Amino acid sequence: MVETLIKMGESITESMELEYRNNLSSIMRIEKDCLGRMEIPQNAYYGIQSRRAKENFPLSGHKIHKKLIWGMGLVKYACIEANLKTKSMPYEIGNALKIACHEFIDGKFDNEIIVESIQGGAGTSINMNVNEILANRGLEILGEEKGRYDIISPNTHVNMAQSTNDVVPTAFKIAVLSMRQSLIESLEKLLGALKEKEIQFDDIVTIGRTHLQDAIPIRLGQEFGAYARLITRDIKRINQAMESLNNVNLGATAVGTGLNADPEYIKAAIEELSIITGMDIKLAEHLMDSTQNTDCYVHLSGSIRTCALNLSKMCNDLRLMASGPICGLMEIKLPAVQPGSSIMPGKVNPVMIEMMNQICFQIQGNDHAIAMASEAGQFQLNVMAPVIFKNMFESIEILTNGVKVLTERCIVGILANEEECKKRVDNSIGVVTALNPHIGYEKSSAIAKEVLETRRSVREVVLKKGFLTEEELDIILQPKEMTEPGVAGAKILGLRTI
């Protein structure tokens, strides 16, 4: 009915369209492969191999990441264009497939990707799901029925001069590279926020800690400056690791020998891929190496894991520094973003920091899975690639998003509790260390012991014992001077004879 109305140019209501689609989904076509025959819904763009994979791997419901689907579309387009340039593919078929690729890249067929992210076969199910979609859409463009693989074949035409083993890894690298900018931008914004805090808190002196015990005075700005340097190194490491992904094995086909791939096709495909992605895509120097070894993924995952560990360490510090508000350290105040308890009124928890810690735990697990999968490859192919892809995408995505919200909802809004910081310094025995060059370690140690026993201040005990005058203590125990290299008070007092 709907088809008749379309031909007549009549308007179609939503209910009529829905009825038409429902009718189509109940109509089946028969497809066959080397294992036999299977019914496929007539309106489906996927085919028999996709259906088999869906039935074989009903694991978690986690579908292929959208970035990988997008990357597959780009790679397929480049390969079709290269096959047209080398006159290996009939123009009419190639042109129809290029149109199908454009639609695929735009996300029109994302719902037709029915295979799960973890699967056996080194990604063959991913590749064939894409091949079948493009073949059936190409057939539709030519006015033919879906499933007429004698006209456009998922293998003969869409997969011409290709293998899963060169197409899927190439698409994965492009997908990851496309995520690079967002990740680096989120880290750079965090870096900027930390540098601002370094300047903002430069004059605030608090007490440092080693072994979770009082140490010597430090400036709060110095702490945030240390975090900033940490993130600077993380950005550098991730950027360096990303660079290796520009080298792809497209044209290696099954095992890296390039069987069935004309050298002119390989050159054209790489050039086309560089143009349509805007990336500096290069052919790997050794195709067999690039096909079987996945150390570049391990390197990237490791740099992401290192970044997550650094962030988690920083967050642990911030969580402790903000502990309280009455019975903890409370040297800094974190922005309150949500109520913290369903039973305790007024409680506010450091939820953004807790989130970042959990992201770190997940990334560590992902990194371990990637490392094990990389090691598990044999001979000319690593068949564990799908689990590498799944975990890498998750690590990059949650790190990017986590850092973004951590910066916006926590770091930029951190305030210093100056009064509490001053109290920590004034009441700490750590300042005794500044007296060492003036009165010696033994006397300083005795002072520290008495301070702990009597709960009197360092100043009181020193004056009581007569080791230094009040004027000398005013100079030596200047908080900020104790946070810089050198002997506190030496320039003014000179060193007394110990």
Tokens 């301070």 belong to 451
- The CA distance from 333 to 331, in Å, is 7
Neighbours of 287 (CB within 10 A): 22
3-class SS at 466? coil
Residues paired with 299 in a beta bridge:
none
Beta strands 205-210 and 213-219, pairing class: antiparallel
User: What per-residue string of b and e applies to 422-458 under the rule 16 or more CB within 10 Å gives b?
Assistant: eebbebbbbbbbbbbbbbeeebbebbbebbeeeeeeb
- Closest C-alpha to 71, from 181, 177, 163: 177
20 and 43 Cβ atoms separated by less than 8 Å: no
Q: What are 438-441's contacts with CB under 8 Å, separation 24+?
A: 438/468, 438/472, 438/476, 438/489, 438/493, 438/495, 438/496, 438/498, 439/467, 439/468, 439/496, 439/498, 440/498
Spatial distance between the Cα atoms of 293 and 180, rounded to a whole number of angstroms: 22
Catalytic annotation present for 341: yes
93/198 Cα distance (integer angstroms): 61
DSSP 134-156: HHHHHHHHTTPPTT-TTTS-III
Q: Could you tell me which residues are beta bridge partners of residue 38?
A: 31
Annotated catalytic residue within 25, 60, 341, 445:
341
Please choose, from the candidates 336, 483, 338, 348, the residue with its C-alpha nearest in 3D space to the C-alpha of residue 414: 336
Which spans in 322-350 are helix H?
none
Question: Which of 360, 358, 367, 364 lies closest to 388 in space, CA to CA?
Answer: 367
Cα 443 to Cα 259, 432, 436, 475, 479, distances in angstroms: 81, 10, 8, 19, 21
Q: Residue 494: left if φ>0, alpha if ψ -120 to 50, beta else—which one?
A: left
Distance, in Å, from the CA atom of 20 to the CA atom of 2, rounded to the nearest integer, reads 6
Cα dist from 383 to 172, 189, 388, whole Å: 14, 38, 10
Active-site annotation, residues? 341
